[in-house]
């Protein structure tokens, strides 16, 4: 479940790290800002989420959830196109498709596998 006020998406999967056994995996907005590789041009924001490895879907969901929240509140600062770069580990989800569809009238979001 995504909570825009906390900027995180919490999952029921468990971490593989023994000392954190039993803790829920979460990707926060701060995690996304720290680990995603960002490049900007005049018209496009390229965000490489491959550093998230098996948590790429979670990272994309956090980012798109934040974009939808900003869109719905009118707080969106930029209307640049967004290109999210993923690798073969990325599987996508109905929630990600829903975020993209909802943002589409004013924002072009693309996901590219590299």
Q: At 32, is the secondary structure helix, strand, or coil?
A: helix
pTM score, whole prediction: 0.76
Q: What digits encode the pLDDT tens for the residues 44-90?
A: 999 999 999 999 999 999 999 999 888 888 877 667 899 999 999 89
CB atoms within 10 A of CB 77: 6
pLDDT for position 70: 87
CA distance 63 to 59: 6
């Amino acid at each position: 479940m995504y909570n825009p006020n906390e900027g995180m998406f919490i999952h029921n999967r468990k971490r593989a790290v023994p000392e954190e056994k039993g803790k829920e995996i979460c990707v926060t907005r701060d995690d996304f800002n720290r680990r995603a590789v960002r490049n900007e041009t005049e018209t496009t924001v390229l965000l490489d989420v491959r550093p998230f490895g098996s948590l790429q879907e979670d990272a994309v969901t956090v980012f798109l959830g934040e974009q939808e929240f900003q869109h719905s509140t009118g707080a969106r600062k930029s209307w640049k196109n967004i290109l999210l770069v993923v690798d073969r580990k990325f599987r996508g989800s109905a929630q990600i498709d829903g975020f993209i569809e909802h943002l589409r009238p004013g924002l072009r979001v693309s996901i590219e596998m590299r």
